Amino acid sequence: MLKLKRIGIDTYRDNVAFIARCCTPYRPEEFQAFRKIEVIHDGNRLLASLLIVDDETIVGRNELGLSEQAFKRIQKPEGTLVQLAPAIPPRSLDHVRSKIHGHTLDESQINDIIGDIATHRYSEMEIAAFLISSAGFMTTDEMLALTRAMAGAGNQLNWDAPVVVDKHCIGGIPGNRTSMIVVPIVAAHGLPMPKSSSRAITSPAGTADTMEVLAKVDLTMEEMREVVKECNGCLVWGGHVNLSPADDIMIAVERPLAIDTREQMVASILSKKIAAGSTHLVVDLPLGPSAKVRSHEDALRLRKLFEYISDQVGLHIEVSVTDGSQPVGRGIGPVLEARDAMAVLRREPGAPMDLKEKSLRLAGQILEFDKSLRGGKGYDRACELLESGEALTVMERIISAQGRSQKEYALGTLIHDVATEADGVVTAIDCYRMARIARLAGAPLDKGAGIDLFKKVGDPVEAGEALYRIYACVESDFQFARSMAGEANGYAIGAGL
């Protein structure tokens, strides 16, 4: 028997066990080739990857160390006596091997795999094996089974309403913070829109990061229900709600490998929406040379995939191909994006027109899920709700209900203006590069870090004129961002459009 010890190492999502090489009751090197063991306590078994430790100050010869994640999952105090055994790999790995060798999987096989992933029985490498084997080829039946299995593996929300609306953006466009405008408009009309969003993982800001500038976003499921009951809508972080957890786990593995297939993306997005209890969904699909979707064919294929799967699972969907040729709005980073969204809701004269127009169009599409507005009346209704200030009132109510932010987030005090060297007209802005610069500047970790765009496509510029301003809070980030902007500032300047 070994004594449980918590090891302060964050192994992201992998369960990792640390065992001393000289561990007295076992010989960990016997397990090393297979890299995985079972930790047994009261008949429960936790599968964990194995690391052998040669430093007894980290883990002693009678101890079993568990990384933060694994320690949380085993739910036992330090010092608990546990046993080890060679791991018996999840049976569903046979299905993964079968997929690797070119077979297609049926619904029950996919359910087994997703069930084991959601309950942390797969190592990251095993998850990668499933993702990669599926990335090469998936039948539509497999996609459908994957979507259903992911949606069913975590919590499922139910709103007791015939129409529950949601929107989703494929991502990749900085500043595209339409949800913070769409949700209050739609909620003001009376359609329930319980929006849960992610935090940025590789981008400079997610809706949750931006909303957090104004209000508390890490609500429990119960708190979320209360807010929606009161306001018809909310803008919360999905992390506490545990919707489609297998999806989060798979995305964490996908990202460093940069495999990104249409099929997995569609299954991922729809599984979350189904689990969130949505009945009607608008998907914002930006198309542009530096967006995720770069050609019309690609956009069409993706739209068809969304429509096919949604149809099968009984979700009403509208896929809207939008302009993804440059960032939307002016600010990139939580504080700057919150400023833009509030400027639109407050009908300030300087509010970014493109963000406003796009939000109104998306809100209009969603409002047409209400039978009384069908046939083109949604957009006008959206304008009405925005211009009358009703949307702003609902937004203020949502902020109060979620809990107004106790902290005043300010812009970073390290400031650098990036200027153009040429006269002409802005012909393109590289979304990917602007996102990277803003991210290096410290967003979203520093809410006040980011980029404020002074010029957009079509604007005339003179040599020496500032294109945008970088804000940062930490010196090393400031230098990283300046140096990347110095290499290439992300703007193309031409003779005219």
- Verify whether residue 260 is a known catalytic residue: yes
Q: Is residue 128 a contact point for its own copies (CB under 8 A)?
A: yes
Taking contact as CB under 8 A, which single stretch among the options 118-126, 220-228, 286-294, 389-397 is the one that binds its own copies? 118-126
CB of 89 to its own copies, least distance (A): 8
Of residues 117 and 385, the one with the C-beta less far from its own copies: 117
What are the Cα distances from residue 457, in Å, to 39, 302, 327, 368, 427? 58, 27, 10, 31, 5
- Please report the sign of the dihedral spanned by the C-alpha atoms of residue 459, residue 465, residue 469, residue 470: positive
Whole-number Å distance between alpha carbons of 131 and 129: 6
Of residues 261 and 325, the one with the C-beta less far from its own copies: 261
Of residues 260, 311, 380, 423, which has the active-site annotation? 260
Which of 45, 98, 135, 156: binder of its own copies (CB under 8 A)? 135
Number of residues forming the site for its own copies (CB under 8 A) = 59
Of residues 91 and 404, the one with the C-beta less far from its own copies: 91
CB of 486 to its own copies, least distance (A): 16
Of residues 55 and 421, the one with the C-beta less far from its own copies: 55
CB of 172 to its own copies, least distance (A): 15
Q: Is residue 125 a contact point for its own copies (CB under 8 A)?
A: yes
Q: Is residue 133 a contact point for its own copies (CB under 8 A)?
A: yes
Q: Is residue 69 a contact point for its own copies (CB under 8 A)?
A: no
- Answer whether 80's CB lies under 8 Å from 42's CB: no
Q: Is residue 18 a contact point for its own copies (CB under 8 A)?
A: yes
Q: Is residue 32 a contact point for its own copies (CB under 8 A)?
A: yes
CA 462 to chain centre: 38
Q: Is residue 57 a contact point for its own copies (CB under 8 A)?
A: yes
Q: CA angle, corner 439, sides to 193 and 268, nearest 5?
A: 40
Q: Which residues contact 219 (CB under 8 A, 6 or more apart)?
A: 227, 234, 236, 237, 240, 402
- Answer whether 366's CB lies under 8 Å from 188's CB: no
Which of 100, 321, 457, 466: binder of its own copies (CB under 8 A)? 100
CB of 202 to its own copies, least distance (A): 5
Beta partners for 4?
A: 64
Task: Give the footprint of its own copies on residues 439-468 (CB under 8 A).
Answer: 439, 442, 445
CB of 101 to its own copies, least distance (A): 7
What are the Cα distances from residue 49, in Å, to 12, 83, 86? 13, 15, 11
Q: Is residue 151 a contact point for its own copies (CB under 8 A)?
A: no
Beta strands in 430-476 (DSSP E): 450-453, 460-461, 466-472
Whole-number Å distance between alpha carbons of 399 and 338: 12
Of residues 132 and 422, the one with the C-beta less far from its own copies: 132
Q: Which residues contact 220 (CB under 8 A, 6 or more apart)?
A: 240
Instruction: For residue 425, count CB atoms less than 10 angstroms from its CB and return exposed for 0-12, middle for 13-18, buried for 19 or more.
Output: middle
Beta partners for 297?
A: none
Name the packing angle between helices 353-367 and 378-387 (round to 10°).
130
Of residues 280 and 439, the one with the C-beta less far from its own copies: 439
Q: Which residues contact 359 (CB under 8 A, 6 or more apart)?
A: 178, 181, 182, 185, 344
Q: Is residue 486 a contact point for its own copies (CB under 8 A)?
A: no
Q: Is residue 52 a contact point for its own copies (CB under 8 A)?
A: yes
Task: Give the footprint of its own copies on residues 215-274 (CB under 8 A).
Answer: 252-253, 255-259, 261
The catalytic site residues sit at: 260
Query: Which residues contact its own copies by CB under 8 A?
Result: 7-12, 18, 21, 25-27, 29-30, 32-36, 51-55, 57-58, 68, 89, 93, 97, 100-102, 123-126, 128-129, 132-133, 135-137, 201-202, 252-253, 255-259, 261, 439, 442, 445, 474, 476-477
